Amino acid sequence: MRKITFDEEELFAIAVFEPDTRGNTIKRLERVLPELQDDSEMRDLIRSAREKLKTISDREYALLDLDSYREELEWDMNEEENGNDEETADDNVEETEKTAEEK
């Protein structure tokens, strides 16, 4: 039996659905497919991840390092909520430096 390898994009896609079990994750991926009719690239990514999930065991699924992808997604969402993208963060540093110089 050959080893199934997920690429980083597939792991991010799986992590988006906050998966708890392999079976539930497959179901969640299948439910989103009809919504992706206009996005062939995303649809292909979700299909690929789903098919790979179908071929691995529950044990192999449990060994996937999805926590790091979930943490990165959470961090990205917090940054978006706070309006802190890199450009905004750079602006904030510049503003702080100007304020410090004025004092």
pTM: 0.69
Quote the pLDDT of residue 31. Answer: 96
Please provide the distance, in angstroms rounded to a whole number, between the alpha carbons at the two ends of the chain: 69
- Distance from CA of residue 49 to its chain's centroid? 12
Residue 84, token pair as written in the block: 């802190």
Quote the pLDDT of residue 92. Answer: 47
Q: State which residues of the chain have pLDDT below 50.
A: 88, 92-93, 96-100, 103
Residue 17 per-residue DSSP state: T
* 3-state helix/strand/coil string of 30-97: HHHHHHHCCCHHHHHHHHHHHHHHHHCCHHHHHHCCHHHHHHHHHHHHHHHHHCCCHHHHHHHHHHHH
Are the C-beta atoms of residues 9 and 45 closer than 8 Å to each other? yes
Quote the pLDDT of residue 87. Answer: 52
Are the C-beta atoms of residues 4 and 52 closer than 8 Å to each other? yes
